[in-house]
Amino acid sequence: MEKRKLGSEGLEVSAIGLGCMGMSEFYGEGDEAESIATIHRALEVGVNFLDTADMYGPWTNEELVGRAIADRRDQVVLATKFGIRRGDDPRDRHVDGRPEYVRESIDGSLKRLGVDHVDLYYQHRVDKRVPIEETVGAMAELVRAGKVRFLGLSEASPATIRRAHAVHPISALQSEYSLWTREPEVEVIPAIRALGIGFVPYSPLGRGFLTGTVRSVDDLDEGDFRHFQPRFQGDNLQANIAIVELIDAIAAEHEATAAQVALAWVHAQGEDVAPIPGTKRRRYLEENAGALDLALTDDDLRRIDEAGAVHGDRYADMSSVNR
């Protein structure tokens, strides 16, 4: 398995990771046995970079990942996140970056995961009420205490990243990035490259849309949160299908799948990029890992660049909390 170095502090991960969120929430019914089997298969094929967060489930995704890696912790580069608090109502969420909450959160995550440290600890979203220096200062204390090895941010702006990096080296920034979410190219990616910070794209398959398997919200399970996402609605959906049709055409030329083309495009963006496509099934995990064997041509990349912009906004809570 190809490796990618993230940041300057020594973090090295598989070139493709596994996002575990959907195993517990947001994408319809889960199957714990298949999810654990998927994690085990990931490790067998060399995908060692596992991504979770305390708010997924909520709380239960870390427990699931912990059960899956209980007897193979030394094979895993384990990433989790803190900072989004949830109430009894699933819609009740707010960001918390207070230092005391940082310390409280890591202890909860370590207990649920059943480990004595995590390899990469992200602030899930920036808290506009708390100076980033205070939050990252508390995160740095966790590094010194041996509870965390490397630090990360998620969905942060260049100015915030620079301020955070001045307090303690940031190894990775996680943000949404794919063929249909390219905003980070404008300011964020240049900023982190100037600082030597690695990039971890989440939703590199456009929340499954770029796989070509979703042509209507009727294709989704009843509890799937994509029912409410603007890019999956009405005229937006119909316009966005044109992008998928191009990906399908390129995939056919390479005897590959649409998902592999979408992931190969992300991989082509740099040696400091390690996407974390999410899945809860072994067959998709293996398909995603196969994207590393696909090299897109310059003509493929040109055609993709000319495909045009995606229609519709990202979901509001992820788009509005950036700072």
Q: What is the pLDDT along the chain (323 residues), one digit of tens a residue?
A: 999 999 999 999 999 999 999 999 866 678 999 999 999 999 999 999 999 999 999 999 999 999 999 999 999 999 999 999 987 776 678 999 999 999 999 999 999 999 999 999 999 999 999 999 999 999 999 999 999 999 999 999 999 999 999 999 999 999 999 988 899 999 999 999 999 999 999 999 987 788 876 655 656 666 665 556 667 656 777 777 888 889 999 999 999 999 999 999 999 999 999 999 999 999 999 999 999 999 999 999 999 998 767 766 655 444 333 33
Q: How far apart are CA 159 and CA 322, in angstroms?
A: 11
Q: How far is CA 192 from the centre of its chain?
A: 17
How many CB atoms lie under 10 A from the CB of residue 256? 20
Residues 6+ apart with CB under 8 A from 274: 4, 6, 13, 14, 15, 16, 17, 49, 198, 199, 200
Torsion of CA 59, 62, 64, 69, to 10 degrees: -170
Residues 6+ apart with CB under 8 A from 113: 52, 62, 63, 65, 66, 69, 78, 80
pLDDT of residue 322: 38
pLDDT of residue 323: 38
Residue of 27, 56, 101, 202 with catalytic role: 56
Residues 6+ apart with CB under 8 A from 206: 178, 179, 180, 181, 231, 262, 310
Q: How far apart are CA 74 and CA 77, in angstroms?
A: 8
pLDDT of residue 223: 61
Rg of the chain over Cα atoms, rounded to whole angstroms, equals: 19
* 56 tagged catalytic: yes
* Exposure of 111 in the CB half-sphere (CA atoms within 13 A): 7
pLDDT of residue 27: 67
Kindly report the pTM of this predicted structure: 0.89
pLDDT of residue 87: 76
Cα distance from N-terminal residue to C-terminal residue, the chain: 35
Helix (H, G, I), strand (E, B) or coil at 176: strand
| Amino acid code (one letter) for 283 | R
Q: How far apart are CA 291 and CA 293, in angstroms?
A: 5
Give the phi and the psi of residue 84 in degrees, each rounded to 5.
-110, 110
Distances from the Cα of 201 to the Cαs of 49, 227, 291, in angstroms?
13, 22, 15
pLDDT of residue 240: 77
**Number of H-type helices and E-type strands within the chain:** 11, 11
| Amino acid code (one letter) for 274 | A
How many CB atoms lie under 10 A from the CB of residue 307? 15
Of 248, 244, 249, give the one whose Cα is nearest residue 231: 244
